[in-house]
A and B are shown apart, each in its own frame.
Chain A
Amino acid sequence: MAEIVIRNLRKEFGAFTAVKGSSFTIRDGEFFMLLGPSGCGKTTTLRMIAGLELPTSGEILIDGEDVSQKPASQRDIAMVFQMFALYPHMNVRKNIAYPLVSQGVPKAEVQKKVAEVARILRIDHMLDKPVGGLSGGDRQRVALGRAIVRNPKAFMMDEPLGALDAEFREIMAEELRALHDRMHATTVYVTHDQLEAMQMGDKIVVMNHGVVEQFGTPQDIYDHPATLFVADFIGSPSMNFLQFEGTAAPGATTVTLGETLIALPRLEEPATGKLVLGVRPEHLALSDAAPYRGRIEATEYLGTTQIVTLATPHGPAKARTPAGLPAKVGDTVGLTLDARTLTLFDATTGRAIRTAANAGVPHG
């Protein structure tokens, strides 16, 4: 069990900077997600924590001790990869026992630990089976068992579910999270799948081009994105961006979109020039009376809800509405925006303007 503190961590590969000065803290027992598109530096960050890469500069503290220049073997961290490699000639029991046997742990203790891990993972009935005949999920469980059995300070997982199909992935995600809830081991998990990050994580770091864009709980990041990148990356469909030009002073509680006054949380800093009003699909409602108008371009039935695609004077937008609500392609409808949930961005810097709603949320 361990707390991991990352301070000004930087990694250069020749002229290319993969990670540009990240800082965040992973609390003891947290399920911590490193999220971002490919090439954002998330895997490099994970590998530096594990000791598979040495940072160019910065500190990695595990339980207060700087390990940034120590080899992986001295960090007591277990790594779980997307492509789980098992020893094909050994049965499940021997695969799980291997890390202990190679450390010279006494046989009786090995047996005890393997049995315990198998029980936690609910694979105790297959300990004597060869790994060759196992399903993908069971193989992944065995790979996890091999990581858990060492009882390391922390687990590093690099897209461990990436190779699985959608349905099975969801089952394994739930299983992994339930396992974490039983063991409470500090876990750092890399993914590019925002839903996976939201679903499993206690905290999320969103990275882009080697920079930490935002760090916080899933709901805070969703509700109060710090940048346009985060707003777009998190959520499906993602946040709608209504582009406009305007000026608003601190204390303002409205902006003017075309000819319509739109209420939003009270601004705490000025906003001027090219601006973007961000509204989540579920906060955009169709209402006949509303003065702000859009044309329905498409509707998509999703069972409980439907997604309505609209053309507005300030760009395309999607609304998530109850499935029963009538919405006909081609119709022009009024749109209301839920004032408390709106985020205003500076289009040039991509940064969210500070308001009464997002003021308390830590930024990247």
Chain B
Amino acid sequence: MAEVTLSGLTKAYGTTLALHDVTLTIPDGAFVVLLGPTGAGKTTTLRLIAGLDAPTKGDIRIGGASVINDTPAQRDVAMVFQQYSLYPHLTVRDNLAFPLRSPIIAMPEPQIAKRVQDVADVLRIPHKLDNKATALSGGEMQRVSIGRALVRNPRIYLMDEPLSSLDAKLRADLRIELKRIHHDLKATFLYVTHDQIEAMTMATHVGVLDRGKLVQFGTPRQIYEEPVSTYVASRLGQPHINLLPADAFGPSPAGAAQIGLRPEHIFQGEGQPATVRRVEHLGDQTRLHLALGPHQIITLSDAHTPLRPGDTLPIRPQNPLWFDASGNRL
């Protein structure tokens, strides 16, 4: 386990800057999630740390020492990919043991047996050890591929959207599993995803990437409650934050160009009259689609609200977020 520091990390592919001057410290034992849409530079960051690609500029330090000239094997990191790739002709046990039998590690067999057993216990698949890899369900296969990273006990685990190919229920289960594994192993995780739920629920720290730049780094609560820009504010929260012209509800602070309203920033029952356009019953909550003059607003209400399309609902902002003309938070 080790602290990982990125300083001024830059990666260019031809004229395209995939990663631009990223400086970031992943504390020892942290669960850092990099969040961003496709093309934000998430996977590039992982590949640079793993040594699968070389940076154009900048430095990577693991446990205090620069690894920039080290081979992937020397860096002692483990990577888990989105598409689990197991050896189909091997059992779960042999799949898990495989990394330990590599000539670089060459661990004695009794020790391998013990480690494989330990990891199988952590992953709750000890009863599957003698199954062929192909006889597993999707969730079990992904657990085995995570297990193959765990057996090595590397300095950092790099995970590239490991849950994105699983169905919703399994994803929810594995989110909790991963958090538990992280906690039990006291390991350092760097995890990339475009799924805001994964970032919110698992991370100790979230880094938000925008076209190759790290635009905010903080706890999930900081990112959700104190976003630095409209871009960051739009990454988290369901339904999305409503962004309206600053004067939509009347006077606004100096320099404000936009007002940002999450559902909890919209007080219902007093203020300006909005028209209910659509009432969406999602079961546990109901989404109200409102029209306030020319503006569309989506907010939440009680699951069994009596409101119907065409009704009028007065609303006013309550501790809203303000943003300037370039989208930065005031």
Q: Which residues of A contact B (CB under 8 A)?
A: 165-167, 177, 181, 195, 198-199, 217-219, 222-223, 234-238, 280-282, 297-298, 300-304, 307, 309, 320
Contacts and interface: CB of A to CB of B under 8 A. Distances in A.
Interface of B is mostly: mixed
A165 B38 contact: yes
20 contacts: A165-B38, A167-B194, A198-B282, A199-B287, A219-B283, A219-B303, A222-B284, A235-B284, A236-B172, A281-B284, A298-B180, A300-B202, A303-B224, A303-B236, A303-B238, A303-B262, A304-B237, A304-B264, A309-B176, A320-B284
B264 A300 contact: no
Given A165-B38, A303-B236, A303-B237, A282 B284 contact: yes
- 8 closest A-B pairs by beta carbon, nearest first, are A222-B283, A300-B201, A219-B281, A282-B284, A303-B224, A218-B281, A198-B282, A298-B176
B283 A177 contact: no
B169 A238 contact: yes
B147 interface: no
B138 interface: no
Given A181-B278, A235-B283, 12 more contacts: A177-B278, A198-B280, A198-B283, A222-B281, A280-B283, A300-B176, A300-B179, A301-B201, A302-B197, A302-B201, A304-B300, A307-B201
A195 to B, nearest CB: 7
Contacts of A307: 201
A198 B264 CA distance: 22
B235 to A, nearest CB: 10
Nearest to A320: B284
Contacts of A199: 280, 282, 287
Contacts of B127: none
A304 B263 contact: yes
Contacts of B281: 198, 217-219, 222
Contacts of A235: 283-284
B212 interface: no
A208 B175 CA distance: 27
B254 interface: no
Interface string B267-298: 00000000000101111101100000000000
Nearest to A239: B283
Contacts of B283: 198, 218-219, 222-223, 234-235, 280
A37 B281 CA distance: 21
Contacts of A301: 200-201, 220-221
Interface in B183-203: 194-195, 197, 200-202
